[in-house]
Amino acid sequence: MNRMTTRMGRVMAWCGALGAALWLAGCAVTDVGRAPQMSPGDVVAVLPIVNNTETPQAGLRAEAIAESLLKTGGVANLKRYPASLNPETLFEPAEREAVGKALEWARGERARYALTGSVQEWRYKVGVDGEPAVGISLQLIDVASGQVVWSATGSNAGWSRESLSGVAQKLLRRLLAPLMQG
């Protein structure tokens, strides 16, 4: 009986540790594919991230965070598409055709890869606590062929005192981790 109690105690401790780890991870769900082997000299273009939310400029915000994370993560040859190629304004949502135009621009820049995607959620949830919630999908495109060579998607909800951009940064860091070189 003593052996059984000890074994049960270990199982309970393990379950408690697992529960604590999940609690500390927050409410995040991510699915990240295997990234291609990128060379340090590869040029990566950041293309428009389409805003599928009701929040103005959520795509532009996600682009800025992704670009910064890639740069600090060791992607040295990073280029951002010209602002004139993205029609997203405060009152107009981005159009999918902007991504096609930006991909043509990336070909002209001789980029090897292009990062694009979409924002599905970018808001504070309604309720007493008003938790920040973010949902993003990303794709890495082989510019020469136009084929998607990597993709990732995820969502994250933070605590009521966290900022929306902070929650987005944590999620994007997890999603972009396979592309980081440093």
Please report, for the chain, the start and end positions of each structural domain, with discontinuous segments joined by +: 27-179
How far apart (Å, rounded) are the C-alpha atoms in residues 161 and 173? 20
Instruction: Quick: pLDDT tens for 141-177.
Output: 999 999 999 999 999 999 888 999 999 999 999 999 9
What is the per-residue DSSP string for 15-62?
HHHHHHHHHHH-EEEEEEPPPP---TT--EEEEEEEE-SSSTTHHHHH
Residue 59: what pLDDT?
93
pLDDT at residue number 84: 84
Mean pLDDT across 66-87: 91
Task: Decide: pTM greater than 0.85.
Answer: no
Is CATH 1.25.40.80 what the domain over 27-179 is classified as, yes or no? no
Give the span between the Cα atoms of 51 and 122, in whole angstroms. Answer: 9
The yes-or-no verdict on residue 95 having pLDDT over 70 is no
User: What band does 23 get if pLDDT is binned at 50, 70 and 90?
Assistant: very low
Mean pLDDT of the chain: 85
